[in-house]
Structure 1
Amino acid sequence: MTVKQDRKETAKQQRKELREKLAETTERIESDPQTAEEFEVFAQRFPTYSVKNQTMIWMQNENATICAGFRKWKEEGRQVRKGEKGLRIFAPTKRKVKDAEGNVIKDDKGEDEEEAGFIMVTVFDIAQTDPVEEETTD
């Protein structure tokens, strides 16, 4: 098995485990009124995220308040602390449709055909970041 195949297999296993944990957490939210109430309060902190991603963040860190990716935190003048473990969520993506030989399929207009999908990405809670110190020149 090549390194690339090994990474793909590891990622596939991680996605499977997260989906299983997501199903368990969703079941807990739906069957326990107290848990549902706690989740509802939590989800209000993340109005732009899908319910699935709100649930995924909650099951990984019930104390999360503001989440963003590594680059977004950098743009905001914050730095993710070394060694912090991120939270995994799903992000929409598009990929080119390929035939059995791996060639990109063209649509009626001759443009590459694309399909929507989701990839797993990592976000960090603001509590996992520090403000970037401004360098001063004297």
Structure 2
Amino acid sequence: MTQATTKKQDRKEAAKEKKKQIRQQYKQTAERIETDPDFAASFVDFAARFPTYSEKNQKLIFMQNDEATICAGFNKWKEEGRAVRKGEKGIKIFAPTKKKSRDENGEVIKNEKGEDEEEAGFIMVTVFDIAQTDPVEEETTN
């Protein structure tokens, strides 16, 4: 086994563990929202800031940064002329994705039209609150 393969496996294991921790924290947050009226009221106020996010992602953001106001991924902030500050800890949420369906041999499954079949799923992605970014200075040329 090569060192690159080992590093890749280590990253996969770390990501799997992080996902497990996030899910456990999410469960605790969801339970607290259901049982603590004051906490639930705080969440409702918070969630109103993120109307385009799913309730699950609203809860995920809330539990990781209850002061967040506008969230986006690293590249989106870059497109918006902002840079994520070095050392900032991202907020983990789930984003929809599609992947090719495969049979037990790992071969891509084709539909009746001969096109690759896809299955929907979710992957964990990292977003940052606007408070974790700074405007990028425009370079002036003379």
TM-score (norm 2): 0.94
2:121 pairs with one of 100, 117, 121: 117
- Which runs of 4 or more aligned residues in structure 1 lie more than 6 Å from their structure 2 counterparts after TM superposition? none
Instruction: Return the letter of the residue paired with 1:90.
Output: F
Matched residue, 2:11: 7
Matched residue, 1:92: 96
1:70 pairs with one of 66, 70, 74: 74
Q: Structure 1, unaligned stretches of length 5 or more? A: none
Residues 22-52 of structure 1, C-alpha deviations (whole Å, 9 max, x = no match): 0000000011110110000000000000000
Deviation of 1:3 after TM superposition, in Å, equals 2.2
RMSD: 1.0
1:28 pairs with one of 18, 28, 32: 32
SS at match of 1:2: helix
Instruction: Return the letter of the residue paired with 2:35.
Output: S
- Which 10-residue stretch deviates more, 105-114 or 116-125? 105-114
Matched length: 138
Matched residue, 1:50: 54
TM-score (norm 1): 0.97
